[in-house]
Amino acid sequence: MKKIFGLVEKNDDAVNDFLMHYDADFEIHVYSPLIESCEDSLFYCLGNIVSLFWEEDDICWIATDVEEVYQLANKLCASLFQKIIYIDHNVDTAFSKRLDANELLLFDYKMIPDKNMQLLLQEFVSKISLFDMEFYCRFENDIKHFVKQSDKKSTTFLAHICRLLLYMEKEGNRCIHVLYRLLLLSMLMKLEYLPEHTNAYLVEVLKNSDFNEANYYFIWNQFKGLSFKNLLAVDESSFEFLDYLYKQSYKRYKERAKTVLEKIPSQKRHSDRVLILTIQFLGRNHAPTKTVLERCKTYAEMGKEVYLINTTEQYTSQGYIPLFSAQVGTVAAEDELADILSIDGEKKIWYKQLDSDISIWERFLLLVKYIKQIKPKYILSIGTGSMLADLCSNMVPCASMSLVFSILPKTENCIKILGRKLSQNELENGETRDIIESCFTFELKPQKMKFIRQQYQIPENKFILVVVGIRLDFEIASKFCDMLEKACRNGCFVVFAGVYDTYHKIGESNPLLAQNSTFIGYCNDIQALMEICDLYVNPERFGGGFSVIEAFAKGVPGVYLKTGDVYTAGGEEFSVSNFDEMEQTILRYKRDKNFYEMMSAKAKKRAKLMTSSLEAMKELDRKIVEKVEKEFW
C-alpha cells in the first residue's frame, strides 16, 4: 500500500482537499499541528521523518505546509521518499528551534542497523577535513562492500548521510576536504541516479585549480564508461562539461608537448605502412579486439605493412582522483596475445603494448619514438576516445574510428570515421567536412560446435527469442522485460546469453518471464546458439553489432529499436520504433511463416554485405589516403 504522511501545521480545507485527491490510492496519515507535536524543534521534525523511512516498507510520500520543512526535507531526505510535496496555503508560523545538523547526524548513525558501518561513518566524519589516502582506500572499499551486500533501504539511507554531510559543509558546520567532497558527490551520483549530482561532481572537478590534464582525462574516461553502461544520469549540461574536460585535457597536453611534436612530411612516410592505435586489446572473445584484428588482417591482405600499438587507455587509472567505485581497464599480458596476432600461422602484425602503470605523458613519449621509427602513411585510431591518438595526429595524419560505430568518435584533431552514412538531419545541421562515411564490417568467428535445445533446457515447442550481450546487467531495463513478458504470454521463451549477474532478480518484477526464460552464461559459439533460436531481440543499448550479424548469418532475423550499433549493423528493415511495436513484430514472426522466411533471406543477405571486409576496407583506405594527400602535410 502506498502512503502519504501529511506533516501539516494548519489542517484546514486546503489540506483536506489536497489529501482527498489521493484518498483512493493512498493510505493517508496526518500529523497536526506539526510545530507543537515536534516541540517547536526542527531536529525532532527531521528525526521523525527519518524514523518514518525506517518504519515503513511501502512507497511513501511526505506532504507538508511548512516551507522550511519542505526545503530541508528536499535537501536531506529526497532519497528516502518517492515524493516530497509542499502544500502552499499561507502558514505564517515557523519553528523557533533551528536544526542542529550535528545532532541529526548522531541520530542518523544510530538508525543504521550495521554497527560496523556506524563506526566507519563516525571515523570518516572525524577525518573528513584532512585527506589521508590510506584511510580513504579502506573507507571506499568498505563502503563498496556495504553497498553490494546491503538491502535497498540501507543504501538509500547512505545517500541521505551523504546529503547531510554536504549540507553541513554548506551551512558552515563541517570542513570537508575537496577529495572527500568528490567522493560524497560521486556516491550520491551513483546511489540516487540524478543528473544534478553528476553535474555537481563535474563542476567541482573543473573549478579546482589543483587538478591537471591527467586528472581531467581520468574523469572523462570514467564517465565515458559509466554513461555507456547507463550507471549514471546525465543531461545536456553533463555532456557540455565532459566535452570541456576533454578539450582542456588535450589543450594542456598539447601545450606541454609542443617541443616534442614534429610533423613527418608525406615524402618521408611509407605509403604501404599503416599504424593502428587501439585503447584496449584483450583476446579473441573480446568484441573490440576482434574488430581491431579484423582491420589489421584486412590491411595485410591489401598488401599493407601493419603496425599495432595498444595504448592501454581504456579506463586508465593514471590521474586518479576520488570517484566512488571507479573502474580500471583490463590489460592482458603482451605475451598472451602472440597467437592471435598471426595470419595463417605467420606473424605479420608488429605489436607493442604500452605499460598501463606509467603516465599518459610517458606513454606519449614512447609513442613519439615508435612513430618516428615506423613513419606510417597515416594512423588509424580504433576506440571511443584516445588522447594519445589525438596528440600523435600532430605528427602523422590520423583517422579515428569509434568502436560504437554508429556514432562519431570523440576526437579533437583527427579525421572522423562514421560506420554508417550520415543522416539527412546530420547533413543539414552538422559540420561534415572532416567526416568519412564507411561501412563497418565484421569478421565472424567460424562455427565449431553444434547445440541442441535439450542441453540448455530450452523447450522444443516454444518460439525462442535470444538476447546476447556482455553488459546485460546494465542494458536490460524494466520496459524491455515487460515487453518480453508479454511475448511469453503468447508462447515465446527467452534465452539470455553473455554476462548477466542479476538475472536471478527477474522474478521479482517479471515472474512469468522468469518462468519462461533461461540464462546460459557466456557462449563461445554464438552462431551455434543461433541455430537453436528463432529470433534475435535487442534491448535499447549502444553496442551489440557483432551478435546481430552472427544471428543474420544463420538466417535468424532480428528485431531492435532505431538506435545504436545493432540498428546500424542490421539495417532499417528489421527495426521498430518502440517496445510496443517490438512485441507486435515478435508475434508476427511467430505466427506468419511466410513473413519469417522472407526476413530470414534478407538477414542472410545483410550478413553477406556486412562481412565483406576486404572491399569495405579498400574503400575506406582510398578515402583516407585521398583526404590525407589533399588536406594534410
> How confident is the model at residue 611, as a pLDDT?
87
Give the mean pLDDT of 131-142.
96
In this predicted structure, the answer to whether residue 440 has a pLDDT above a threshold of 90 is: no
Q: Where residue 418 falls among pLDDT bands split at 50, 70, 90?
A: confident
pLDDT tens digits for range 22-77: 988 899 999 999 999 999 999 999 999 999 999 998 899 999 999 999 999 999 99
Q: Do domains 266-441+616-631 and 453-610 have the same CATH topology?
A: yes
Per cent of the chain over pLDDT 90 is 75
Q: What are phi and psi of 80, to 5 degrees?
A: -85, -20
Task: Find the helix or strand (DSSP H, E) in which 576 lies.
Answer: strand 575-576
Q: Indicate the helix (H) or strand (E) that contains 490.
A: none
Q: Which three-class secondary structure state does DSSP give residue 188? A: helix
pLDDT band at 431 (very low <50, low <70, confident <90, very high): low
Name the pLDDT band for 432 (thresholds 50, 70, 90).
low
465 phi and psi, to 5 degrees?
-95, 140
For residue 284, give the C-alpha cell. Answer: 579473441
SS3 call for 497: strand
Fold assignment, 266-441+616-631: Rossmann fold (3.40.50)
Instruction: For the chain, give every domain's residue range.
Output: 2-86, 266-441+616-631, 453-610
Reply yes or no on whether the pLDDT at 279 is more than 70.
yes
pLDDT at 299: 93
- H or E element at residue 581: helix 579-591
Cell of 26: 493512498
Per-residue pLDDT tens digits for 72-123: 999 999 999 999 999 998 888 889 999 999 999 999 999 999 999 999 999 9
Spatial CA neighbour of 68 closest among 79, 60, 76, 57: 76
The 10s digit of each residue's pLDDT in 472-517 is: 988 999 999 999 999 999 999 999 999 999 999 898 889 999 999 9
303: left (phi over 0), alpha (psi -120 to 50) or beta: left
Is the distance from CB of 357 to CB of 379 less than 8 angstroms?
A: no
In this prediction, residues 447-470 reach a mean pLDDT of 94
Confidence of residue 346 (pLDDT cuts 50, 70, 90): low
CA 220/CA 517 separation, integer angstroms: 38
State how far the Cα of 217 lies from the Cα of 173, in Å rounded to an integer.
33
- For CA atoms 263, 268, 274, 277, the dihedral sign is negative
Three-state SS for 570? helix
Give the fold, CATH level 3, of 453-610. Answer: Rossmann fold (3.40.50)
pTM greater than 0.75: yes
